Structure 1
Amino acid sequence: MYHALGYSTILVMQAAMTFEQQDIQMGISTMKEALQTCQRFRKRSTVVESLSNLVSKQPVDQLSEEEMHAEVCYAECLLQKAALTFVQDENMINFIKGGLKIRTSYQIYKECHQVLQMTQGNKSKIETYHQFEGGVKLGIGAFNLELGLHQLREGASGSSLRAILCTFTLLVYHTYVSLILGTGEANLHEADSLLEPYLQKFPNGSIILFYAARIDILKGNFEKAQITFQECIAAQQEWKQIHHLCYWELMWCYTFQQNWLQAYRYADLLSKESRWSKAIYVFQKAAILCMLPEDDVKRTGEDTVSLFRQVDGLKQRIAGKSIPTEKFAVRKARRYASSQPVKLILPALEMMYVWNGFAIVGKRADLTENLLVTIEKEETALQNETNHSEYYMDDVCMLQLLKGLCLKHLGRLMQAELCFNQVIQSEKQIKYDNYLVPFTLYELGLLYKQQDERGKAIRFIETAKNNYKEYSMESRLHFRIHAALDSLKVTPASTP
Structure 2
Amino acid sequence: MTLQVCLEECMEALDLFLNNHFSESLDKLRPRVKESMYHALIYATVLEMQAMMTFQQDDIVNAGNTMKSAQEVCQRFQIATDRVCGFAEQLQALHADACYAECLLQRAALTFLQDENMVSFIKGGIKVRNSYLIYKELHTFLQSNSSLQGPNHIHLEGGVSFGIGAFNLTLSMFPPRLLKVLEFAGFSGDKEYGLSQLNDGATTNNLRSMLCALLLLCYYTFLTFILGTLLFTTRKMFTFLSTSLQGAIFLFFAGRAEAIKGNIDEAVVLFEDGCKAQQQWKQFHHMCYWELMWCFTYKCVWRMAYFYADLLSNESRWSKAMYVYMKAAYLSMLAPGEARPFGEDEVELFRRVSTFKQKIAGKSPPTEKFAIRKARRYKASCPVRLPVPVLEMMYMWNGFSMISKRPELTEGMLQTLVEAERTLLESPVNEYSMDDRCVIHLLKGLCLKNQRHIQAAEECFNKKKIKFDHYLVPNALLELSVVYIDMGRKEEAIKLLVKAKTEITHLELDKKVFSLTSIADTGDTSTICPICQCAIIGE
- Shared fold (TM-score, shorter chain, > 0.5): yes
- How far residue 165 of structure 1 moved from its aligned partner, in angstroms, is 1.1
Larger mean CA deviation between 481-490 and 72-81 belongs to: 481-490
Q: Partner amino acid for 1:153?
A: N
CA distance in 1, matches of 2:258, 2:241: 14
Aligned residue for 2:340, secondary structure, equals helix
Does structure 1 residue 311 correspond to structure 2 residue 357? no
Structure 1 residues 187-230: Cα deviation after superposition (integer angstroms, max 9, x where no partner): 32223223211453212111111111111111111111111111
**Equivalent of residue 454 in structure 2, options 413, 420, 439:** 413
Q: Partner amino acid for 2:361?
A: A
CA distance in 1, matches of 2:394, 2:228: 17
1:239-250 → structure 2 map (5 Å cutoff): 239-250=281-292
Larger mean CA deviation between 342-351 and 226-235 belongs to: 226-235
In 2, are the aligned partners of 1:39 and 1:70 still within 8 Å (CA)?
yes
Larger mean CA deviation between 296-305 and 158-167 belongs to: 296-305
**Equivalent of residue 92 in structure 1, options 118, 127, 135:** 118
CA distance in 2, matches of 1:105, 1:332: 40
- How far residue 488 of structure 1 moved from its aligned partner, in angstroms, is 4.0
Aligned to 1:434: 470
Does structure 1 residue 163 correspond to structure 2 residue 203? no
**Equivalent of residue 166 in structure 2, options 142, 161, 177:** 142
Aligned to 1:395: 436
Larger mean CA deviation between 13-22 and 86-95 belongs to: 86-95
Aligned residue for 1:462, secondary structure, equals helix
1:203-214 → structure 2 map (5 Å cutoff): 203-214=245-256
- How far residue 139 of structure 1 moved from its aligned partner, in angstroms, is 0.5
Count of residues in Structure 1 that have an aligned counterpart in Structure 2: 464
Aligned to 2:267: 225
Structure 1 residues 389-448: Cα deviation after superposition (integer angstroms, max 9, x where no partner): 101111111111100000001111111011101xx2x1xx21110100111111111111
Does structure 1 residue 484 correspond to structure 2 residue 519? yes
Q: Partner amino acid for 1:412?
A: H
In 2, are the aligned partners of 1:435 and 1:472 still within 8 Å (CA)?
no
Structure 1 residues 91 and 186, CA, compared in 2 at 3 Å: closer, same or farther? farther
Aligned to 2:95: 69
In 2, are the aligned partners of 1:213 and 1:226 still within 8 Å (CA)?
yes
CA distance in 2, matches of 1:371, 1:37: 56
Aligned to 1:376: 418
**Equivalent of residue 474 in structure 1, options 479, 488, 510:** 510
Aligned to 2:186: none
What is the identity percentage for the equivalent residue pairs of Structure 1 and Structure 2?
49
Does structure 1 residue 465 correspond to structure 2 residue 501? yes
Q: Partner amino acid for 1:487?
A: T
In 2, are the aligned partners of 1:175 and 1:191 still within 8 Å (CA)?
no
In 2, are the aligned partners of 1:325 and 1:473 still within 8 Å (CA)?
no
In structure 1, list runs of 5 or more residues that go unmatched. 47-60
CA distance in 1, matches of 2:324, 2:312: 9
Does structure 1 residue 2 correspond to structure 2 residue 38? yes
Q: Partner amino acid for 2:110?
A: L
Aligned to 1:50: none
CA distance in 2, matches of 1:296, 1:381: 17
CA distance in 1, matches of 2:88, 2:486: 54
Aligned residue for 2:337, secondary structure, equals helix
Aligned to 1:130: 154
Aligned to 2:29: none
Structure 1 residues 443 and 271, CA, compared in 2 at 3 Å: closer, same or farther? same
Structure 1 residues 191 and 316, CA, compared in 2 at 3 Å: closer, same or farther? same
Aligned to 1:302: 344
Structure 1 residues 70 and 319, CA, compared in 2 at 3 Å: closer, same or farther? same
Larger mean CA deviation between 21-30 and 88-97 belongs to: 88-97
Larger mean CA deviation between 317-326 and 95-104 belongs to: 317-326
- How far residue 89 of structure 1 moved from its aligned partner, in angstroms, is 2.4
In 2, are the aligned partners of 1:328 and 1:473 still within 8 Å (CA)?
no
Aligned to 1:364: 406
Structure 1 residues 2 and 198, CA, compared in 2 at 3 Å: closer, same or farther? same
In 2, are the aligned partners of 1:379 and 1:396 still within 8 Å (CA)?
yes
Structure 1 residues 154 and 392, CA, compared in 2 at 3 Å: closer, same or farther? same
- How far residue 63 of structure 1 moved from its aligned partner, in angstroms, is 8.7
CA distance in 1, matches of 2:229, 2:309: 28
Aligned to 1:237: 279
Structure 1 residues 217-272: Cα deviation after superposition (integer angstroms, max 9, x where no partner): 11111111111111110110111111000100000000000001100110010011
CA distance in 2, matches of 1:365, 1:398: 21
- How far residue 320 of structure 1 moved from its aligned partner, in angstroms, is 2.2
Aligned residue for 1:187, secondary structure, equals helix
Structure 1 residues 137-182: Cα deviation after superposition (integer angstroms, max 9, x where no partner): 1001111121211111111111111112111100000001225xxx
Structure 1 residues 336-362: Cα deviation after superposition (integer angstroms, max 9, x where no partner): 011110100100000000000000011
Alignment TM-score, normalising by the size of structure 2 = 0.82
Aligned to 1:285: 327
Aligned to 1:331: 373
Aligned residue for 1:402, secondary structure, equals helix
Larger mean CA deviation between 368-377 and 452-461 belongs to: 452-461
1:444-455 → structure 2 map (5 Å cutoff): 444-455=480-491
Root mean square deviation, CA, Å: 2.3
